[in-house]
Chain A
Amino acid sequence: MRLNINGEDVDLEVDPDTPLLWVLRDHLSLTGTKFGCGIASCGACTVHIDGYPQRSCVYPVAAAEGTAITTIEGARSKAEEAVRAAWTELQVPQCGYCQSGQIMSAISLVRDVTAPTDEDIDAAMAGNLCRCMTYDRIRKAIKTAAQQMER
Chain B
Amino acid sequence: MPIELRKATDMDRRHFLKATGSTGLALSFILPSFSTAARAGGIAPNTRRINAFLAVTPDNDIEVFVAQAEMGQGITTGLTQILAEELGADWDRTHFRFSTERRSEFISPDLYGGIVLTGGSTSTSTFFLPMRQAGAAARAMLIAATAEQSGADVSEFSTNQSTVVHEPTGDVWTFAELSEDALLQPVPADPPLKARSEFTLIGQSRPRLDLAVKLDGSAKYGIDHVVPGMVWAAVRHGPLGRASVASFDGSTATKMPGVRKVLVVPHGIAVVADHYWQAVTALRTVEVVFDPIDADNFSTEDMRASLVAGLAADGVEVPQIKGDAETRLQTASDIIEATYEMPMAAHGCIEPVTCTAFVQGDTCKLWLSTQSPTLDAGYAADVLGVDPATIEIHNEFMGGAFGRRTGREHVEEAILLSQAVQAPVKVIWSREEDILMDQFRTAAMVHGRLGLDEDGRPVAYSAKVSATGFWQNMLPDWYEQVKPLDIPAIGLLDSDYGIEDENGRYAPYLSPPRIGPWRGNMDNHNLLLVESLIDEAAHHLDRDPLEYRLSLITDKRSRAVIERVAELSEWQAERTGVFRGIAFMHNKNYWRSRVAVVVELQEQDGVLRVTTLYCVCNSGLVINPLLAKQNLEGGLLFGFSWAFLEETTFTDGYPDQRNFFDYEMLRIDSAPRLVVEIIEAGEEPGSFGEVGTPMVAPALGNAIFAATGERFRRLPFAKHGAPF
Contacts of B348 in A (CB 8 A): 131
The complex places the Cα of A11 from the Cα of B465 at a distance, in Å, of 60
Contacts of B661 in A (CB 8 A): 39, 41
The complex places the Cα of A27 from the Cα of B276 at a distance, in Å, of 9
Is there a chain B Cβ closer than 8 Å to A115's Cβ?
no
Given contacts A93-B215, A95-B71, A36 and B660 within 8 Å (CB-CB): yes
Contact of A94 among B72, B212, B428, B668 (CB under 8 A): B72
Is there a chain B Cβ closer than 8 Å to A15's Cβ?
yes
Contact of B637 among A22, A44, A133 (CB under 8 A): A133
The complex places the Cα of A139 from the Cα of B633 at a distance, in Å, of 13
Contact of B72 among A39, A88, A95 (CB under 8 A): A95
> Chain B interface: which size bin?
35 or more
The complex places the Cα of A73 from the Cα of B207 at a distance, in Å, of 22
List residues of chain A with CB under 8 Å of any chain B CB. Answer: 14-15, 17-19, 22, 25-27, 29-39, 41-42, 44, 71-73, 84, 87-88, 91, 93-100, 103, 121-123, 125-139
Number of A-B contacts (CB under 8 A): 173
Question: Which chain A residue shows the least CB distance to B214?
Answer: A96
Contact of A96 among B281, B397, B660 (CB under 8 A): B397
Contact call A133/B277, Cβ cutoff below 8 A: no
Closest chain-A Cβ to B707's Cβ sits at a distance in Å of 22
Interface mask (B61-74 → A, CB under 8 Å = 1, otherwise 0): 00000000011111
Chain B 616-647 interface residues, beta-carbon cutoff 8 Å to A: 626, 630, 633-634, 636-638, 641
The complex places the Cα of A125 from the Cα of B669 at a distance, in Å, of 8
The complex places the Cα of A1 from the Cα of B257 at a distance, in Å, of 17
Contacts of A98 in B (CB 8 A): 350, 399
Contact call A41/B208, Cβ cutoff below 8 A: no
The complex places the Cα of A127 from the Cα of B215 at a distance, in Å, of 19
Given contacts A93-B211, A126-B669, A133-B637, A41 and B659 within 8 Å (CB-CB): yes
Is there a chain A Cβ closer than 8 Å to B224's Cβ?
yes
Question: Which chain A residue shows the least CB distance to B275?
Answer: A26
Contacts of B669 in A (CB 8 A): 122-123, 125-126
The complex places the Cα of A15 from the Cα of B636 at a distance, in Å, of 44
List residues of chain B with CB under 8 Å of any chain A CB. Answer: 70-74, 207-208, 210-221, 223-224, 226, 232, 257, 275-278, 281, 348-352, 397-402, 428, 430-431, 626, 630, 633-634, 636-638, 641, 659-661, 665-669, 671, 673-674
Contact call A31/B668, Cβ cutoff below 8 A: no
Contact call B633/A88, Cβ cutoff below 8 A: no
Contact sample, A vs B, 20 pairs, CB 8 Å cutoff? A26-B276, A29-B226, A30-B217, A31-B220, A32-B217, A71-B217, A88-B211, A94-B72, A94-B74, A95-B349, A95-B401, A97-B350, A122-B668, A128-B668, A130-B350, A132-B400, A135-B667, A136-B671, A136-B673, A137-B633
Closest chain-B Cβ to A151's Cβ sits at a distance in Å of 21
The complex places the Cα of A28 from the Cα of B402 at a distance, in Å, of 31
Question: Which chain A residue shows the least CB distance to B348?
Answer: A131
Closest chain-A Cβ to B615's Cβ sits at a distance in Å of 12
Contact call B215/A22, Cβ cutoff below 8 A: no
Contacts of B626 in A (CB 8 A): 91
Closest chain-A Cβ to B576's Cβ sits at a distance in Å of 22
Contact call B257/A15, Cβ cutoff below 8 A: yes
Contacts of B671 in A (CB 8 A): 133, 135-136, 139
